[in-house]
Every structure is written in C-alpha cells, then in structure tokens.
Amino acid sequence: MSDLTTGPPLRRVVGFALPLTAANLLQQGYVLVDSIVVGHYVGVEGLAAVGASGPLFYLLNAMFIGLGTAFTIRLAHLRGARQDGERRGVVLSLALLTAVWSVGCIVLATALARPVLALMGIHGTLADACAEFIGVLSLGFPGLFGSAAVSAYLRGLGDSRAAMWVAGFGSIANAVLVLLFVAVFGMGVGGAALATAIAATAALVVGLLHARRVHPVPRAGERPAVARELRDAVRLGFPLASQHIILAVGIMVLVWIIQAFGPVVLAAFTVVSRIEQFTAMLFLDFSGAVTAFTAQNLGAHDRARARQGLLQTLGLTVALTAVVSALVLLARGPIAAVFTDDPATRDLTERYLLIIFPFFALYTVMVVLHGHLNGSRRTTAPLICTVIAFVVVQIPFAYLLNGVFGIEAVMWAVVAGWTAGLTYTVLCLRRVLFDRTPEVVPS
C-alpha cells in the first residue's frame, strides 16, 4: 500500500496517478478501438448508435461512480489515520452496494432503453441499434460495476499499480474481442457491446483474486458496522453521484439538440467526445491522485502538505495541458481520418477540435481542483460547479444559439461551460485552502 503522507508531495501524486493513467489510457484505448472498428466496419450509422447509447449507460453508471469515489475517500482516510481495522465494514458495504446496483441497472436498462431513446429524439433503425447495444451491454453490468468497485478498493488503499493491471487486462481483452466480434464475425454494434461485457467480467475475476491475495480484508476486531459505512458513503457520495447524473442527463439533452442536424453531426460528436475523454484521462487521474493524497494527509492532520501537493500538481497540469492541446490541434486532420472515411464527418470533427482544444486548460485545471475538494470531503462544491457549468451555462447556450449559429453554438457552449465552472471552483477553493477548522475523520 502507498503511504502518501511522507516523501515529496508531487512525486507521490504523480507516482499514484501514472499507473491509473496507464490503465485508463488502455481503457480509453479500447473505447477508441470500438469507435474505429464500428466506424469502419458498420459505418456512420453504427458510430452514431454507439454515441447515442453512451449517455444512457453513463446515466446508469453515474450513481455508482459517485458512491465508489466515496468509498475510496473513506478507505484513504482510514489509511492515513492508521485505522485499517475498520476496513472490513467498508468492504462489506461496498460489496452489498455493488450487487444491488448491478441487478437494479439490468432491470432499468431493459425497461427504460426505448423510452429514454425516444425522449432523446432517437427513432427508427438508429433506435433499434442503440437498444441492441444497451441490451447486450447490460449482461456485463455485474462485471463493469464489480471491477469498478475493486478499483475503488485498491485506489483507497493507495495501490494504484494493481488497479492499473486489473483495468489494463480488461481493456486489452476488450480491444481483442471487439476486433474479433465486429471485424471478423460481423456482429455489428451488438458484438461491440458483447466484447465489453465479457472483458469486464474477466477483469472482475482477476481483480478479486488479486485483492484477496495481496490486500486481504482484516477479520479480527469489532463487528463490522456495515449499515453505518453505507450511510456515510451515501452521504459523502451523493453529491458526487448527483454530479455525474447531471452530466449524463445533460449529455442526453445535447444529443437531442445534435441529432436534429443528422447522423453525420452525431457521429462527429461521438468522435470528439472519445478524443476529449482520451486526452483528459491523465488529468482526471491527477484529480483522483490529489483526492487520495488530500484524504490521507488530512487523515494524518497535515493540511499544509495537502495544500502543497495541490499547488505543485496544478503547475504540472498547466504545462502538460499545453503540450497535449498543441499535439491535438496539429494532428487534428489525421486524428479525424482514423475514425471515419466520410469527408463531412472528418471536416466537422476538425472544426470541433479547433474550437475547444485551445481552451482545454480551463477543464484540466478545474478537475484537479475538484480532486482536492473531494479529498477534503467538500463534495458538494464540485456538484454545484457542474450545475453551473453544464445546466446553467452550456446547455442553454447550445439550445438557444444553435438556431442562429448552427452546430458551432454547441461547440462554443463547451468553452463557456468550462469557463463558468473553473470560476466557481476557484472561489470555492479559496475558502477551503484558508479554512483553519480541524479536519474530522469519521470513526
């Protein structure tokens, strides 16, 4: 387990983040492979179906993302406070939540896919393809949520390297299977979903075996307080979960706005979202590392070290963002060509990248600051930030101005949302950094 309360702060943050980045780059790599394979072997309509299905799965996944992060924060606090004996109650409550949520999401995906797609304006053959993708993918929900729970457990203990290997295994398996099912067997979008389901289940098995061998749950001590830990996770994770739910619903609204422009625009939106997710991964992992770093050091009552780690990570974030943005802008043509042979989709993808990536630092700095707020147990602030950036600014901007400026209004709405979100986050962080009240870790 990694102890983040000693050693050079930036080295500890980067050392924690890099294994997660390697795993998530592999994970996003298979997402890119999915899109590339579907785009070339199924066509623009298949690429549009995968993109339109994404927000629905994100909506089902949203609550679990927030609650899983809450368990990571709780485990990191216990690690920093040297209270590993209480870990069993946390693990049992996490396992219970994962099982219930997996079954519930299978039911919801089966019942709600068609109605939600209709609300998004998706009908006809595109709706059929989306429903097929979600239906097959739901078979893998136990594996998807279970492997996410194992990752939350490992990250909370500071073992990001193990989380990397588990996620990396699933990602490589997914990439191989999607090539086999779609490119070789011609199974279409259903084959892409089946590849994800099988790979996630295999990753869960590997993760459980590793966690049991390397990080066994302590059995000695008092009776585990499962109900208390579950209540604390819900209280801490609800703002995080709500943040992701708002994002998911907001993306659905954007899809509803975009689908009116036709499948080419929806396909370009899918490609850009994949590129944005891929390039943002390092900075999201910096955010997760800052969360664990902050939680451990506040658990050890060292607020100054937590602040120092944040400031050093921000400096590195700005420098790396400049490099990533320049590379994407210079290579935007070849990048677009990788995903599709359709000239209209490629041209629109390049325009989208040219608008948003000069301002990418607004987003990366914001998510790293959110990591510190989450580690400080101030999870409501990122939630409010998401409401302001996405609900108050980005969606109204895209909806009200797309009739005047066309699809470019949707593109510029992204930049407007990032600007508003970062402004609010900085205002919140000023209060947190200069807060002198003692940090209280739940017992």
Q: In this model, does residue 84 exceed pLDDT 90?
A: no
Long-range residue pairs from 115-121, CB within 8 A, at least 24 positions apart, any chain: 116/56, 116/59, 116/252, 117/52, 117/56, 119/252, 119/256, 120/52, 120/55, 120/252, 120/255, 120/256, 120/259, 121/255, 121/256, 121/259, 121/260
Q: Which of 144-153, 369-378, 397-406 has the lowest mean pLDDT?
A: 397-406
Q: Is the pTM of this model over 0.75?
A: no
- Note the pLDDT of residue 409: 87
- Note the pLDDT of residue 439: 47
Q: How far is CA 65 from CA 7, 145, 248, in A?
A: 30, 9, 12
pLDDT band at 321 (very low <50, low <70, confident <90, very high): very high
Percent pLDDT > 70 in the chain is: 92
Cα(340)–Cα(193) distance, integer angstroms: 20
Q: Cβ atoms within 10 A of the Cβ of 31, count?
A: 21
Q: In this model, does residue 123 exceed pLDDT 90?
A: no
Q: For residues 32 and 383, which has the higher predicted lDDT (pLDDT)?
A: 383
Q: Amino acid letter at 178?
A: V
What token pair was written down for 71? 């368990």
Q: pLDDT tens digit string along 135-155?
A: 898 999 999 999 989 988 988
Cα(89)–Cα(18) distance, integer angstroms: 29
Q: pLDDT tens digit string along 353-372?
A: 999 999 999 999 999 999 99
Q: pLDDT tens digit string along 295-311?
A: 888 878 888 898 899 99
Q: Where are the domains of the chain?
A: 9-433
Dmax of the chain from CA atoms? 66
Cα(94)–Cα(67) distance, integer angstroms: 9
